[in-house]
Amino acid sequence: MAGPILYYWEPNANPGKVMFLFAEKGVSYAGHYVDLLGMEQHTPAYLAVNPKGTIPTLVNGDQILTESTPMMEYIDTVFDGPKFTPVDPVERWRMRWWMRYFDSYLCPAISMPAWQRIVSPTAAGRDPQALEEAISRIPQEQRRISWRKALFDEFSEAELAESQRRYQYGVTVLEKHLGVFPWVAGNSYSLADINGFTLGYAFPFVQPEHCNETRTPNIMAWLQRIYTRPAIMETFKLRRTELAERALVMLKKFSREADKSNA
């Protein structure tokens, strides 16, 4: 059987979960970059692979998998390499609890302002009719609504304010938790850390006033431990947009600090 094929975008958010995990496990895959900002995921060619039009998509033999979080558990179970699902049942429960929290609470809180900041500018100068046609190809109604709001900057002040409130609360919850445990699941680096890192790696850039060494020292220490892992460093080299460029700043910062500690 041929090796796995991964359709991905940048090493962040949903695609990043799978990209980082494959790197951690040492598993090679055939990669197909999908230009999310160009809405390539909604073209007929990609919809033939994944009718939902979401990223990432994993093809492994005759299996086609979508939805990044359950995809992580599949990869950790099926492929060789180190395991990132805790053996201890409580830690395994904690891992899954936090992955659900990241996906259902913290990710939506972050994504709205991120879409406004990143997606809206891509619509500048583009034919509105062409954008409407691209939106109409999105299979899921809720995603059509979200893309229209993002492309035409239609998020309300109330929506953005609520998103900000949830983000600040979510960061506070994570900071408190990481004051008790070194890793999200407990004492072992797990899928939950990879899941959370794909959101958290940008916290110090997006809102430095709410995530920094003074206000959130536990999150910053956690980020440093993950940033300096060789698999994480290598995966960020696959970036193509400025979105992940900011990770290089943190990589250099944490690498210098790690060198000082080991000196």
- 3-class DSSP state for residue 199? helix
Q: How far apart are CA 89 and CA 87, in angstroms?
A: 6
Count Cβ atoms below 10 Å from residue 156 Cβ, excluding itself.
9
Q: Is the dihedral of CA 43, 234, 220, 185 positive or negative?
A: positive
What is the chain's mean pLDDT, rounded?
Answer: 90
Between 134 and 186, the higher pLDDT residue: 186
pLDDT in tens, 1-23: 679 999 999 998 899 999 999 99
Say what the alpha-carbon torsion angle 146, 147, 148, 152 is, to the nearest 10 degrees: 110
- Name the band, by pLDDT with cuts 50, 70 and 90, for residue 262: low
Cis peptide before 208 (omega within 30 of 0): no
Task: Please give the radius of gyration of the chain, using alpha carbons only, rounded to the nearest integer.
Answer: 18
Ranges of each domain in the chain? 5-262
Instruction: Render pLDDT for 122-173 as a digit per residue (tens, 0 to 9).
Output: 777 788 888 888 889 988 898 898 888 888 888 889 988 998 999 999 999 9
Percent of the chain having pLDDT more than 90? 63
pTM of the model: 0.90
pLDDT tens by residue, 94-115: 999 999 999 999 998 888 877 7
Report the C-alpha gap between 14 and 11 in whole angstroms.
Answer: 8
Q: Which single residue is written with the structure tokens 């900000």?
A: 164
pLDDT of residue 34: 96
- CATH class of residue range 5-262: mainly alpha
